A and B are shown apart, each in its own frame.
Chain A
Amino acid sequence: MKQAIQERFLISPFLVFFVIHATQVGIGVLNFQRPLMKEVGQDAWMAVLMAGLSAHVLIWLMYRLLSHSPSGGDLVSLHEQYFGRWIGGVLSLGLLFYYALAAFMVLQSYIEIIKVWVFPLMGAWQFSLMFLLMTYYVVSGGFRVVVGLCVWGVVTPLLTIFPMVFFPLEYAQYRNLLPVFDHSFGQLAKASKEMVLQYLGFEMLLMYYPFLKQAPSSQKWAHAANAFTMFIYFVLILISIVFYNKEQIQHITWPTLTLAKIPEVPFIERMEYIVISIYVLVVFPIIAVSIWAATRVIKQLFAVQQRRSLPVLLACLFVGGMFFQEKTHIEQLTEWTAKAGFYLVAVYVPLLYLYVWTAEKVKKALQQKP
């Protein structure tokens, strides 16, 4: 077992609320309505709730896995303990790739939005360079700085962007919500599966779990964060259902941003530009947390200091960004990441939990016998 992390690097349990919420809400918020409403139309809000509840279950499972494993550490040490150095190492390498991919996907999607809406002539590399430099600054400050960023990444958008989504209610057609339950259970399940992807982000917990003070007691805050994410998605889907109709929304790339076209104030005509600018604060924590998690994997796996691996990783992302310019590529990337995340959280973690649970049982039984 590795030595425990010094207390000055740890964070209070309630801060998990901000980290989990900040990493859950990301680029997906801008266009999660489309696939949902295509599948189940006005019943999309049910899929949002169902997916949120299953995310609760997955978080619960993750805490069980991390707190009941005797190593008391992160997923990498868990891998090493149960699968040995080589197989466990390969699995951890997969985790590393996933975290890097998640950061890369969020960065590229946000750059795409900036290019479409605000600066069509700007090259992607300029923006990604600035962004990665900022990430370097934050992540090299350590996990506590990353968490501080998450706090602002939750509070600022909540106070500025969130109130704006209520303005479109001026055009609300409340009859769009009726008739309730007009779709089969199969359709709802399919839409919920699609929606679970939007709750992803809590899988970073697998790496920062040892950094929590009294880790098991932070579970209620993790659930609170997920409930809050659910609330935000729920409000957004309700507003989108009454504001758009099922056909119309299929023609809008980012329905949430188009909602922000509605508020009008005398000194600034078009609020969506403000929203996009503030959205940096939504996107930035996700990138910072996942880059931090990736470098943490590297440290645990190869004993390379995070300070050393961070520039290399950022350089890889920067170079990789040069090859992703087209919209279809970015869409494909998003799809891969979502799939990887889904299998990690909804398939791999439960299986791993089952394995660990049985292994412990067997071990106990063997110990009692002789």
Chain B
Amino acid sequence: MRRGLLWLGALLLLGGCASSRPIDEIQIIQQMGYDFENGRYTGTAVYPTFKQGPMTKPNMLTTTSPTVYDLIPRLSSKSALPVEEGQLRLILFGKEFARRGVTQITHSLARNNKVGSHLLLGVAEESAKELLKTAANTTLSDTLYLPNLVEQNEQSMNLPKTNLHLFLYRYFSPGSDPFLPYFEKKGDFVKLEGVALFRDDRYVGHVSLRDSFLMKILLGETKNGVYQLKVGNRGKQGEDRVMLQNLWAKSKYEWKRDGSRHVLDVFVHIHASVRDYPSWLDHSGQDLFADVKKKMQNELEHNMRRLFRYFQKKRIDPLGIGDFVRSVTRHWDSDAFYREYPDLDIRPHVTVDIVHTGIGE
């Protein structure tokens, strides 16, 4: 009996040795870029090399291939250590690549048990390779610069939340289209420029970071984001704008039938603090602030209408309006809905409550 237990113990212990991959004997890819140039695909992998202490240096591997799938195997042929994608944090698509569709990559990611659901995706204005190179050059020690940039902006600024799970959710849903962060190279720096919009899996356009504030609220995310609004006509630059910071927002949709057409009412209630406002507002008392509030609401409504029209013209639905209509319609027919979608009457109604204006008067 004792000998049997010994055998069993040895078997269990040795079973763990099946395949071990020590951390310093693999090449951990943290970011990956995909481009399409001159009929060939280019893959760029960014991996950290660990120097003394916590210092890491981002390094790059690049390879080209006529197909997408063998980019990672081809990267291996340039790497001394086995390439592992388990720590991938960001995948960047070049604009040209994104225009041709990203399904191949996202489906393969959805099947890959090694990558997590929190993986970030993004679109680069030109080539993903150049952008990754720029990011690697400007940040000498931080290999996670781009993923951190996205996460920071999602948590405290205007960018709506995105990741692999949300991308796949919106991609597969018959009632919505996916979107991703959109980056641009500005000189030697990388800048987050807004939100890249997709129809199914193809890139079709983007909106600015300012408009993505509206998207964020309309998507039902309740907190954070800043928005600059014009409230007066005082001519001088900057003297007629207020800076709004969203503290808590709520959006509500209502789907109605108006004669032969459908109407979508969108109610948005923003509890905001005014961060910065022109000096002339200080002297004019409470009444003028109410007037400014009215102007803000009008301008927000105007901008939302513009955003809706843009989506309708492009025939895309990043806000998931189809999903909402499905939830209030029996036997929802997605084809019929999207035939009607471009001419749908969408009416935003915005209420702004100014909670406070800071600690100074």
Contacts and interface: CB of A to CB of B under 8 A. Distances in A.
Given A117-B113, A252-B110, A247 B331 contact: no
B19 A244 contact: no
B165 interface: yes
Contacts of A182: 330-331
Nearest to A244: B169
A269 B173 contact: no
Interface string B316-341: 00000001100111110000000000
Given A182-B331, A247-B173, A175 B323 contact: yes
A170 B105 CA distance: 25
B250 to A, nearest CB: 14
Contacts of A126: 15, 18
Nearest to B5: A137
B118 A264 contact: yes
Given A119-B19, A122-B18, A262-B117, A178 B173 contact: no
Contacts of B116: 261, 269-270
Interface in A156-194: 171, 173, 175-179, 182
A87 interface: no
A245 B172 contact: yes
Interface residues of A, number: 34
B323 A179 contact: no
Interface in A82-125: 116-117, 119-122
A130 B328 contact: no
Given A117-B113, A251-B172, A176 B327 contact: yes
B11 interface: yes
B19 A247 contact: no
Interface in A227-261: 244-245, 247-248, 251-252, 258, 261
Contacts of B327: 175-179
B330 A130 contact: no
Contact of B329 (A117, A179, A252, A269): A179
A313 interface: no
A319 interface: no
B11 A130 contact: yes
B81 interface: no
Contacts of B173: 245, 247-248
B8 interface: yes
B174 interface: yes
B18 A178 contact: no
A5 interface: no
Contact of B18 (A121, A137, A269): A121
Contacts of A119: 18-19
B6 interface: no
Contacts of B329: 179
A121 B324 contact: no
Contacts of A120: 19
B331 A178 contact: no
11 contacts: A116-B113, A121-B18, A122-B15, A130-B8, A137-B8, A171-B169, A245-B172, A258-B117, A262-B165, A269-B116, A270-B116
Given A117-B113, A120-B19, A173-B169, 8 more contacts: A133-B8, A171-B169, A177-B327, A179-B328, A248-B168, A252-B110, A261-B117, A264-B118
Cβ-closest 6 pairs across A and B = A248-B172, A178-B327, A247-B172, A175-B327, A261-B117, A245-B173
